[in-house]
Structure 1
Amino acid sequence: MKKIILIAAIGVAGLTSAKETKSLNFEKEKNVSKQTNSEIKSKMNCYSYGIVIGCTNEMISDTACGETYEEARQCMIDNGALMNEYFCN
């Protein structure tokens, strides 16, 4: 009986210390990801636009992001070409 109680006590102590370690690591990782996301968001500009599918005359809304408008514009052009190729071919 004493062995079972001792094993149970060691198991509970192990789980308690493991839970504390995981929560501390999670908080550290969470803070790092917030800093990274805020840095990315400060550099990115997002633009909403519509893509017209030529063969079906449908319009699809999309969003393109980039540090400059030129980067976002190139993404818009690429996305438009790919969408027309997907729906029309």
Structure 2
Amino acid sequence: MKKIILLAAFGVAGLVNAKNAEETKPAKETEKEKKEVIQEKNTNESSKAESKTLQYNCIEYSMYIPCLDMFLDDQVCYGSGTCVSTWDDAWNCMTTNGTLATKFFCG
């Protein structure tokens, strides 16, 4: 029963793709900041040739706490550059977090 509720919570939760997120920058930049950005871009372009870029996916999900009749939101990221390398590891992390949250709140 708990697994069905957990799967239903996954169905309700939205999926977030971290690589599509964009960083907003302030409108005004000083000359010094512009030079730093240009230098940083040059450094990044040269380092891309030397190493692989890190790519990872993040998933937002909800855990159902039955004794309180509420959902807790959580997020897990997996891929290169994270401590969770595969989807299976991320799934194990999500189920462990759900079990621990239920034990914490419900005893």
Give the TM-score taking structure 2 as reference length. 0.42
- Structure with the largest fraction of helix: 1
Query: Highest Rg: 1 or 2?
Result: 1
Give the TM-score taking structure 1 as reference length. 0.50
